[in-house]
Amino acid sequence: MSNKPRQRFGDTAVRLGYVSSEQVTAALSEQARRREANGGRTGPIGSLLQEKGLLTPTQITAVLGHLASSDLPLTEDGIRLAARLKVLHAGQSNVIGLAGSVGEDAAAAAAEIAVALAVIEQGRVLLVDADLHEATLHERFGHPRSPGLVEQALQGQSVGLPTALSSLDVVPAGTLNESAVAALMSPQAARLVAAWRERYRYIVVNLGDVLHRPEAAVSASRCDGVVAVLRAGLSEKPELRAMQQMLAGLKVGLSGVVLAQPGKPARKRA
């Protein structure tokens, strides 16, 4: 993890020549006034600059790209969906699940959204790999698979591992053994989620296949909303209907739909 001080959005926008330092100073003053008027809650500085007509969405993406490490999955699709999720889930702490029958698609979408939230959000973000059977997030962020979620659920301890972004931590899946599935379905795991809520503004959970893995469905029940990640051309409509029915039974809302293109890292919201 880098020890360099975190760059500010406004400073980077000025350095890239998109806005002047005077415009950023004025926007920061406006942001402070809105924060005071709204009880401490306000939008990111980039959104305010766009609202004033000083930045375009393309320029905002370019600034965010400079703020994030080059090896992190920051995409325009991830930023757009993250911005939508911020509107849908505007509470003090929010647990958002990513679910899909193709594990690599759900994991990739979870990573993109978590990174996007980390660079546009003013609070801390936690990315959790709860897909025990196709765990990959530890590899994406350079950590071992274990100890991770399974061990933390068994021990009742919450530990987020650092990433290249100071505002983003990650929890790997942990060891897949005879007690792993039971650990994710246990009351200890529920208490772990409660502990995350106290420390992070957004908790993004890679659920995996909620339709065929009981522990994934239990993890989904602890979320404030779930994004369905469907492989384009792979029975996406029947899968979406089944997922909607399951989430309705769990009393969890569907927060969005992402179509994953085979062989392409880019994703789009349906």
Q: What is the pLDDT of residues 186-230, one digit of tens each?
A: 889 889 999 999 999 999 999 999 999 988 999 999 999 999 999
Residues contacting residue 139 through CB under 8 Å, at least 6 positions apart: none
Q: Domain boundaries in the chain?
A: 9-67, 76-269
Does 253 score more than 50 pLDDT?
Answer: yes
Assign domain 76-269 one CATH number from 3.40.1160.10, 2.60.260.20, 3.30.70.260, 3.40.50.300: 3.40.50.300
Q: How many CA atoms lie within 13 A of 42 on its CB side?
A: 19
β-strands 168-171, 267-269 pairing: unpaired
Q: How many CA atoms lie within 13 A of 55 on its CB side?
A: 29
What is the gyration radius of the CA atoms in the chain, in angstroms?
19
- Supply the pLDDT for residue 20: 92
User: For the residues 70-95, what does the mean pLDDT come to?
Assistant: 79
pTM (2 decimals)? Answer: 0.74
Q: In what order do the strands lie in the sheet with 161-162?
A: 161-162, 168-171, 125-129, 202-208, 94-99, 225-231, 253-260, 267-269
Q: Identify the band that residue 7 occupies on the pLDDT scale cut at 50, 70 and 90.
A: low
Residues contacting residue 64 through CB under 8 Å, at least 6 positions apart: 9, 46, 74, 79, 116, 119, 120
Mean pLDDT computed over every residue of the chain: 83
